[in-house]
Every structure is written in structure tokens, then in C-alpha cells.
Chains A and B, each alone.
Chain A
Amino acid sequence: MTMMPLVDLAHARSGDKGDTANVGVIVYETEHYDLLREALTVERVKEHFGELVKGSVERFELPNLHALNFLLHGALDGGGTVSLMNDAQGKVFSTALLRMEIDVPDEVASKMRGRGRAP
């Protein structure tokens, strides 16, 4: 097994609903969906964001899109118009999650390394 940043295994988009940010994570290759499900547990994602997420983390599965959706409660300093954050609407929590390092089989790492980065 090898550690690899999630950014090379999946792409993502995030948005807001009040003080909650959502991050939808979609694998590049459908055969990596189970890997994603196993690596991105609620506990692991909560730990990754640490102080950036004040409330709980919820996870939902979209096997049809080979995607997971996370709700990060209390992530936006009150949300929308209240927040003092530069990213008050949680637009870039997506790539913040993709910083996470996950353990993958060596052949996955050698195939995917660099996939998520501009050449």
C-alpha cells in the first residue's frame, strides 16, 4: 500500500446551505469507488477538517455517480451573509478535502499519481 493524495483519485465540488458546507467527491475511475468508501469514513473526514468544522460530519453515498456527499456542519462561521471568512460560501472546501492522504494499493498509486493536477 502507498499513501496518495485524494486529489489524484477523485474530483469534487462544494457549496453551502446556511452554516453547512457540502462536499461531493467523485472518483475518476469507477473501479475506485469502493476504495473511496472505505477511506473516507465520517471519522476520518471529521479528523481531517479538525477546527475548520465546528459541528458534525454526515456522509451519504451515491453509487450511481460513484460519489460520496459530505455535510460539514458549522463550517462557515455562521454562513453566507454573517461569516467573516473569505470562503463564506464554502466554495473551496472541495479541494481542502482532496488534500487528504489515503492509503491505496501500489498499482492504483502508480496508475493515478498526478491525475488531478495540471501538467
Chain B
Amino acid sequence: MAEGKIVRIAGGQGFWGDDLEAPVRQVEQGPIDYLMLDYLAEVTMSIMQKQRARDPGAGFARDFVPLMERLFPAIVEKSIRIVTNAGGVNPRGCAEAVVEAGRAAGVEGRASVGMVTGDDLMDRLDSLLSEGHELRNMDTDEPLSTIRDRVQSANAYIGAAPILGALVKGADVIVTGRSTDTALTYAPMMHEFGWSADDYDRVAAGVVAGHINECGAQCTGGNCLIDWWTVPDLDRVGFPIIEAHRNGEFVVTKHDGTGGRVTRATVSEQIVYEMGDPTNYITPDVIADFTTIQLTDAGDDRVRVHGVRGKPATEFLKVSIAYSDGYKAVGTLTYAWPDAAAKARRAAQVLRERLDRLGLEFDDIRTELVGWDSTHGFLAGEPPADLPEVQLRIGVRGHDRAAVERFTREIAPLILTGPPSVTGFAGGRPRTQEIMAYWPALIRREAVEPNLSVEVLPV
């Protein structure tokens, strides 16, 4: 391992909804220089968009604000900097709330919040389309114009540059919108070691570090299949820490005395998570070749990562677009022994016949048996008659809201009018959800990058 300066970048959240105490443990239980908090996923942006549609002040990871109120005194004292995409579809609202949290935490005049904006393309969408940016769906190749009137949000995935800008300006907490998850980890590495944007191998190593770091404990023993029954103390699982070196090598580890496990196997499971073509892991800053990653044991709960190669990024940025695509609802009922699965299936059949008789039409109706086939489908085989119990899970999807609403009123009647031995309906009627579908597209980077902006707000 190379000698010299080590920069410790801790991962504290793997998604919006992750362990609320993990970021606090990362700050309190050992030395770190940066805390990276990833709140976003494809699904999350759609959810935040729905929230902003109801309340213009919403649309970001609200949990981040009270978290910062707790963390501010410690990060100011220890000079820890925080990099997060908690801003979601409203980074300004998030950053302003964080400034207020800093004042409430008593660090007024001693900290600042960097805010990255410009990834939001919604207000520019029509001018972009008229300039010839078709924003074709990467999966279906359809142009965006086919659903333009239903688009609810459009955000470009952005890379390290604006985060670097905020770090140079001295921000202690950096709030972005749709930054890539990996940039939250490698931007601090580029900043600390002075890597240039064309140092492809080192930036690619940073991307690999970011990919390992971005899902929290999923690389330190959480959700880990290998030997899961032996992973110790998951109740206080240690979240990942990247010990980065100037030459691009790094060690994946966790704080001493925490639960979980870091081995080549736990890190490998995270590396293959959400992987596409491993030779072309595309980011806004570099294309990393994951087949060049070398993992070496470096002691207890320490894995050294080296050998990573990269090549120049493409001319495009990915765009995450959410659009309204109808409605769905899912209801459940529980059936008991004997013949639990047969009763559940009969109930589903009765329900489908009633929906038909009511003249309701849906794009899809799906029946699953939780406890039997809802995870592995037909691979589970036929359920035995002595199955102790099973949960019927039945869902519909369609563009007629009234039809979906009526479906939600057809579950409860099955209790007294369907097959016997049924329970588990205490939650009441299922809720009708508006579907925000995901439309992945590409856009030429020069259409986005000049609009990115960094502001630093004093606390």
C-alpha cells in the first residue's frame, strides 16, 4: 500500500429510509474526514416529485434536516465535511432548511452550506425539445414528445465538478440534487489529491470506491448472502469507510468495534449490485472498467482495492425523467390452513370475476401468494395442501382512476362473501397510488453543464 496522506470518506446512508443512527455513529465512533450520504434512487426521485407537487417547499430528503441539527456541532469541531444528494428535486429548499438547522444547533457563523443547482431540466424542457434534444427513452427509443404533457420532473445525473466547486469555496455541507451516487465519494478524493479530470484511472478508482460506498452497510455485512448466519452484531453494523490514497488505491473498512464484516466476498457482492456491462460503468466523469478491480485482504475487516482502469466519459449525461402513467393499488388478505393456497387462489378468481362483471378494465391484474410464490414465481413449484398460511396479494394497474378506486373497495367484501379461513384485513382498504413512471434518456452534456451553479450559504 502506498505511503502518505489518507483521506477517510465514510458512507452514512444507502437510500432515503436507511438507518437514521448510522451517520451519527460514523461521526462519533472513529476518525473520518468526509461523510457521504446517498439518499436517491430512480424510485426516490419520483416520490420526491409527488411530494413537491403537493407542497412546493417539499421534494427533498426531509430526514437530512434533523440529522444535520444533531451532527452540526460535532462536524464543526472535528472538521468533517458532508456531501449529500439529499436535495432531491428541491436542493434549494433542502439547503435553506439545513442552514436553519445549523442555527438551531448553535453553529451560526462557524459553518456554511454549499448548494448545487442546475440539474433540474423541467423548466427548460420545451426549449430543449425545440432545440432538437429528443430525450428518447433509452430502453424503448421513443422520443419524449410522446409523453411530454405527462412529464412531472426531469433531472440530469451530474458529476463531480459542482461538488468540487463547493469544496473549493469551503462549504462544510454540500447539498446537491441528482448528483450520481458515486460522485459523492470521488469528488472529495479528487479535491484532496488534486486529481485532474483526465486522470482516468484514478477517477475510475474513485468511482469504484463510490459504488462500494453508496449502499451503506450492503458492503459491510448487511443484506449479505455469503455466510449470512455468521455475520456478527448487525444491530450495530459498521457502515463503510473508504481510506483513500493519492495513487487511487483504497481500503474498504469500518470503525473498530462495530458489527458486520468486511471481506473480499462482502465487497464483491456490493460491486455486482445493480451492475450492467462491467467493462463500461458509465459516469459523467469517466467510464470505469470493473473487470480491472483487484481485491486483496488487508487484515481484519479491511479489503484493499487496486488496479482500476478508466477511460474518458461520453458526450452525454443521463437524464432521469418521471411522468404520470396511470394508477395502481395492491390489496392483501391472509388465508389459513387447511388448503390455504387453494382458498387464496379461489378468492382471487372470485375477485377477478366481480371486476369483470362490474365492467372494470385494467392494464394488468397480478395475483401473488406471499409465503409461496411472490419472490420466485413458478420456480417455487405447487404449494402443499398443509401450507400453514398464505397471504393473497392482488394488484391492479390502469389509466382509469375510478376503476382502480373501485378495485380498492372490492377486497374487504371477500371476507364475508369469499372462501373461508380469512383474516389480516385490519389495515383497511388499500390506497390508490398515482404511478410515476421512469423515463431514462441521454442529453448532450453542453446542454446541461453551463447551467450548473454552486452557491455557498453561511449558517
Which residues of chain A have a CB within 8 Å of any CB of chain B?
11-20, 22, 24-26, 28, 48, 50-52, 60-65, 67, 69, 71, 77-82, 84-87, 89, 92, 94-96, 99, 116, 118-119
Q: Which 3 A-B pairs have the closest CB atoms?
A: A24-B272, A15-B274, A84-B395
Q: Are B366 and A84 in contact (CB under 8 A)?
A: yes
Q: Residue on B with the closest CB to A23?
A: B272
Q: Which of B174-182, B187-195, B417-425, B430-438 contacts A (4 or more CB under 8 A)?
A: B430-438
Which stretch from B107-115, B288-296, B353-361 is at the chain A interface?
Answer: B288-296
Q: Kindly provide the distance from the CB of B421 to the nearest chain A CB, expressed in whole angstroms.
A: 22
The answer to whether B272 and A26 have CB atoms under 8 Å apart is yes
- B377 & A52 in contact (Cβ 8 Å cutoff): yes
In the complex, are the beta carbons of B275 and A11 less than 8 A apart? no
Contact present for B364 and A84 (CB under 8 Å): yes
Is the beta-carbon distance between A86 and B368 smaller than 8 angstroms?
Answer: yes
Residue from B265, B274, B330 with most neighbouring chain A CB atoms (10 Å): B274
Chain B residues in the interface with A (C-beta under 8 A): 42-43, 46, 139, 223, 225-226, 228-229, 265, 268-279, 290-295, 307, 325, 328, 330, 364, 366, 368, 370, 374-379, 393, 395-397, 435-438, 440
Is the CB–CB distance between B268 and A65 below 8 Å? yes
Contact of A13 with B397 at beta-carbon distance under 8 Å, contacts A77-B364, A92-B375, A99-B379 already known: no
> CA separation between A65 and B272, bound complex, in Å?
9
Shortest CB distance B328–A (Å)? 6
Pair B435/A82 contact, Cβ less than 8 Å:
yes
Shortest CB–CB separation between residue A37 and chain B, in angstroms? Answer: 14
Chain A nearest CB, measured from B47 CB (Å):
8
CA A14 to CA B364, docked complex, whole Å = 25
Closest to A52 in B: B377
Extra inter-chain contacts (6) besides given A25-B272, A82-B438, CB under 8 Å: A64-B307, A65-B271, A65-B272, A84-B328, A84-B397, A86-B370
Known contacts: A18-B440, A64-B291. The answer to whether A80 contacts B275 by CB under 8 A is no
Within the complex, what minimum Cβ distance (angstroms) separates B234 from chain A?
Answer: 15
> Can you spell out 30 A-B residue pairs with CB atoms less than 8 angstroms apart?
A12-B225, A12-B269, A13-B223, A13-B270, A16-B42, A17-B274, A20-B139, A24-B269, A24-B275, A26-B265, A26-B269, A60-B277, A60-B279, A61-B291, A64-B294, A64-B295, A65-B271, A69-B276, A77-B364, A77-B366, A80-B42, A81-B436, A84-B330, A84-B366, A85-B366, A85-B374, A92-B376, A94-B225, A96-B375, A99-B379
